[in-house]
Amino acid sequence: MYHTYILFSKCLNKYYIGFTGDDMIVRLRKHNSNHKGFTGGMGDWNIVHLETFMNESDARKRETQIKKWKSRIVIEKLIGSEHPDL
């Protein structure tokens, strides 16, 4: 199984969009660890949207589609019904 996901950091007030073939709990721990990179060091990333796919290609395509939106408003519409407090 592969996942396309959106994370949110309240400290940064930013979203992160990614995909993985890893278990999502393991992947979230990596994002919240103290590493170099966009998500490193904050430790407050939470999963706000998750889609599951049978193959890597579909998950990667969905990640690319969401990233191409380049619109916080559209991303928040996607996740809005799941997390109305964001």
H or E segment and range at residue 20:
strand 14-20
Q: Does residue 76 form part of some domain?
A: yes
Question: Which residues are within 8 A (CB) of 14 and not within 5 positions of it... i.e. 6 or more apart?
Answer: 8
pLDDT of the residue at 86: 46
Q: To which residue do tokens 């579909």 refer?
A: 58
Q: Is the pLDDT of residue 59 over 90?
A: yes
**pTM, two decimal places:** 0.87
Joined tokens for residue 73: 């408003």
Q: Name the residue range of residue 16's domain.
A: 2-80
Q: What is the pLDDT of residues 17-58, one digit of tens each?
A: 999 999 999 999 999 998 888 888 888 999 999 999 999 999
The rounded distance, in Å, linking the Cα atoms of 33 and 29 is: 6
Residue 80 confidence class, pLDDT cut points 50, 70, 90 = confident
> 23 lies in a domain?
yes
User: Considering the domain boundaries, does residue 30 fall inside one?
Assistant: yes
Give me the CATH number covering residue 65.
3.40.1440.10
- Is 67 a member of any domain? yes
Instruction: Please check whether residue 86 lies inside any domain of the structure.
Output: no
